[in-house]
Chain A
Amino acid sequence: MTRAGRLPLILGATAVVLAALGIWSTQQASALRNVAAADNTALTDNAATSEAKGAIGDIVTKIFSYTYTDPAKTEQAARASLTGAASTKYATLFNGVKTQGPAQKLILTTTVTESAVISLTSAKARLLVFADQRTTNTADGKTALTPTMLTVDATKTSGKWKLTDLNTLDQ
């Protein structure tokens, strides 16, 4: 074979080797990135983490707080910030307060004592929330403090977080 005849072969072989190298390194890169951890920006994106924590904690505080003199405020908060499964589960959880609230002159104050982001993407978040629920029965003057914990799922659409699911972990 002449030198000219061998040249395309050498070039072609080098091209094949380089292509293989390219494929291999791309796979290595994907292997590094294709872990569940990679999509979760909880704590890696500090600003987004605290924003989600703040906004979602605020929702929990509002929907689980109630004053018999102004039940509409709670209802409004629930309507504005709950969707899907969260709406139905909340309705079940909060039904007792809603029906007995006026008669017992209930005041419910919920405070988030601790929360942390389990997972976070640009549009979705899951949080573990510790909250204290102080119930005051103004009719008989009794108060009770109930520590609770729940996991909440939320989605963010046009800059606003809404809860899509909530699960209490008390039993």
Chain B
Amino acid sequence: MTMTKIRTKPPELPEGRWTDPLVRTALCLLLVAALFAAWGGWRWYAAAHDDALAFSKLRDDVVQSGEQHVQNLSTLDHRDVAKGLATWRDSSTGELHEQLTAGAAQFEKDVKAAQTITSAKVLSSAVTQLDDRAGKASMILAVRITVTTPDGDPSVKTNRLVAQLERTPGGWKISALGQSPTGAS
């Protein structure tokens, strides 16, 4: 068949492959399937390139790392100070890391003398600031710290902590950690 034939005799299409009802049905199905595939592909692309979604995941990463590292940094057992301090170094970066490294020897001596076991539990936390490009974040955390001394009952205290985080090749780590100040009146 040629285009001219169709144009000259439009109502009577010649019997051919494209007029077969089966072929037409198959074509319709193909069209629907192609549209569905295109829509699915677009949805996938959109999800993979959704900035808000990526940022949400980043925020949750920061929360998870931050909670774990703050818990690590609030935990120390006099029976194995070396291991505890190694964990501290692993969980910290930047200035805090330097401080911990510099003060390690003195600290080890103090903790061994006091024979304290300090454990921590993060009760709640949330990110206050997150800068993806700079690789910096701030968090606030409610942390329950239990200090056990050889004599006497363990002392339990809930702390309001503020942590600064930085992205390192080994993930998000703590660059500063301290008590949230009480408001000056």
Bound state CA distance, A116 and B32, in angstroms?
A: 47
Which single member of A32, A113, A149, A171 contacts B53 (CB below 8 Å)?
Answer: A32
B44 at the interface (CB under 8 A from A): yes
| CB within 8 Å of A: which B130-185 residues | 130, 139-140, 142, 144, 156, 158, 160, 162, 180-183, 185
Q: Is the Cβ of A37 less than 8 Å from the Cβ of B59?
A: yes
Q: A8-B23, A22-B39 are in contact. Are A113 and B183 (CB under 8 A)?
A: yes
- Bound complex: CA A101 to CA B33 (Å): 72
Given contacts A12-B26, A22-B40, A25-B37, contact A118 B126 (CB under 8 A): yes
Residue of A26, A35, A132 touching B44 (CB-CB under 8 A): A26
B1: interface (CB < 8 Å): no
Checking B43, B59, B158 against A170 with a beta-carbon cut-off of 8 angstroms, the contacting residue is B158
| Bound: A9/B26 CA distance, A | 8
Quick one: which of A1-50 are within 8 Å of B by CB?
A: 3-4, 7-9, 11-12, 14-19, 21-26, 28-30, 32-33, 35-38, 40-45
Question: Given A16-B33, A23-B40, A111-B183, does the pair A171, B124 have CB atoms closer than 8 Å?
Answer: no
Check B181–A33 contact: CB distance below 8 A. Answer: no
A128 touches B125 (CB 8 A): yes
Q: In the bound complex, what is the Cα–Cα distance between A154 and B26 (angstroms)?
A: 54
Q: Given the complex of chains A and B, what is the CA–CA distance between A25 and B180 in angstroms?
A: 46
Please provide the chain B residues from 3 to 49 with a CB less than 8 Å away from any CB of chain A in the complex. 16-17, 20, 22-23, 25-27, 29-30, 32-34, 36-41, 43-44, 46-48
Instruction: Please provide the chain B residues from 41 to 97 with a CB less than 8 Å away from any CB of chain A in the complex.
Output: 41, 43-44, 46-48, 50, 52-53, 55-57, 59-60
CB within 8 Å for A169 and B26 given contacts A28-B44, A44-B59: no
Contacts A26-B44, A32-B50, A118-B126 supplied; 11 other A-B pairs, CB < 8 Å:
A11-B27, A21-B37, A32-B47, A32-B48, A40-B59, A41-B52, A43-B130, A44-B52, A114-B162, A130-B180, A145-B185
Interface positions of B (Cβ within 8 A of A): 16-17, 20, 22-23, 25-27, 29-30, 32-34, 36-41, 43-44, 46-48, 50, 52-53, 55-57, 59-60, 123-128, 130, 139-140, 142, 144, 156, 158, 160, 162, 180-183, 185
